[in-house]
Amino acid sequence: MRTAPAPVRIGYCLSLTGPLAGNSRSAQLAHDIWREDVNSRGGLLGRPVELVCHDDRGDASLVPSIYKRLMDEDKVDLVIGGYGTNTILPAMPLIMERHRFFVGLMGLGVNNPLAYPNYFAMIPTGPDPNAALTEGFFALAAEQTPRPETVALVSADAEFSRNPILGAKANAESYGFRIVHEASYPLTTEDFTPIIDAVAKSNCDLLFLCSYLNDSVGLVRAIHAHPYRPKMVGAGMIGPQNTAVRTTLGPLLNGFVNYEYWVPVPKMMFPGVQEFLSTYRARAGDADADLLGHYMAPLAYAQMQVVAQAVEATGGFEDGSLSAHARGATFETVMGAVRFGAKGEWQETRVLQVQFRGITGNEVDQFRDGSRQIVVSPPGFTSGALRFPYAEALSAG
């Protein structure tokens, strides 16, 4: 009797509870769909795939012990990075010590200070990730008439915001904007009115925000309720990409400009992405995941496609061989063709800036086709022109 082949075990952690649970559940569903897809085709190298995922509860201090458990007790064949800088960065010392092949999901600039050769970033921020996340925001502002002159920087006091703020400062200097106010707030903040009061006193033209899901909601509400109107607002907010945040805020989002990685516009309909998202949406409700999945799901599925293609190309699971292949290969994914460059970042930057417009009520379906998130940057992917200033875009809806 033929013995069934041993499964390929891929291990990682996600913040399935805590402040990032919504995005993490979206990633987990995308990973599960990938696992089912690859197993339906015979698995990896003829072996079925199992995913071993532990909940880090959004607590970075738990991450090192989770990866040690994955490698030493769970005996996984491969490890991958979880979601975001807060999860990926604390895993890196052990990953580097063990010389593991490591594809992270949406960590921003994680490898900048480390230069670990076996790390690869599934995030389209390119070779200068800190600046690329928000450069489109500043570039758009510099094109407006009358040209804005000043900027305020407001961010959550958390690890994830440090690199975007560095990038924002570099972009402000590059495009000739003067920083007139800078503030951070604890993630436990509930009343954002004093923060926006201080911004208003600065009379800044541009308001740069770097926030998480819950505080993004609080900031948008506080800005909308305040009489002060900057000329542009948004840029680095985690939250408006999430369907639950969009439906919670509804028309309060109109006029905001913010980064995105994938939007359902014709120029981003890469091979396989529509089919994948159709499967994802059919299961998102039962999985308590983001109902549309536009932000997290394509990148999470593409993360696993990179791993699978590297395994198939090298014929095994040896970390050094996988890493050497990934440094020179082009991967075909639902996020389009991906090629890695210096420090494991994408060779080419493809960060979008979108402006929310025409949102009415709080229904999900209005966000399904991209008509409420107009891509205003970069030029190769635009679906409309920026409405400027914010007050005008807000009143026009």
CATH tag, 8-124+268-344: 3.40.50.2300
Compute the distance between CA of residue 178 and CA of residue 338 in angstroms, rounded to an integer: 36
What are the strands of the beta sheet with 178-185, ordered from one edge?
A: 178-185, 150-156, 206-211, 232-237, 257-260, 352-356, 373-377
State the CB neighbour count (10 A cutoff) for residue 4. 8
Enter the DSSP assignment of 380: G
pLDDT, tens digit, 9 for 90 and up, residues 223-260: 999 999 999 999 999 999 999 999 999 999 999 999 99
Q: What is the CA radius of gyration of the chain?
A: 21
Domain ranges in the chain are 8-124+268-344, 129-260+357-396
**Residue/partner pairs of 358-364 with CB below 8 Å, 24 or more apart:** 358/254, 358/397, 359/246, 359/250, 359/251, 359/253, 359/254, 359/397, 360/250, 360/251, 360/397, 361/250, 361/251, 362/247, 362/248, 362/250, 363/247, 364/243, 364/247, 364/291, 364/292
d(Cα 129, Cα 115) in Å, to the nearest integer? 14
CATH topology match: 8-124+268-344 vs 129-260+357-396: yes
pTM for this structure?
Answer: 0.93
Tell me the pLDDT of the chain (397 aa) as tens digits: 568 899 999 999 999 998 788 889 999 999 999 999 999 999 999 999 999 999 999 999 999 999 999 999 999 999 999 999 889 999 999 999 999 999 999 998 999 999 999 999 999 999 999 899 999 999 999 999 999 999 999 999 987 788 899 999 999 999 999 999 999 999 899 999 999 999 999 999 999 999 988 899 999 999 999 999 999 999 999 999 999 999 999 999 999 999 999 999 888 999 999 999 999 999 999 999 999 999 999 999 999 999 999 999 999 999 999 999 999 999 999 999 999 998 999 999 999 999 999 999 999 999 999 899 999 999 889 999 999 999 999 887 6
Q: Where are the strands (E) in 71-193, listed by range?
A: 78-79, 102-105, 119-122, 150-156, 178-185
Torsion of CA 111, 53, 322, 352, to 10 degrees: -50
Domain 129-260+357-396 has CATH 3.30.565.10: no
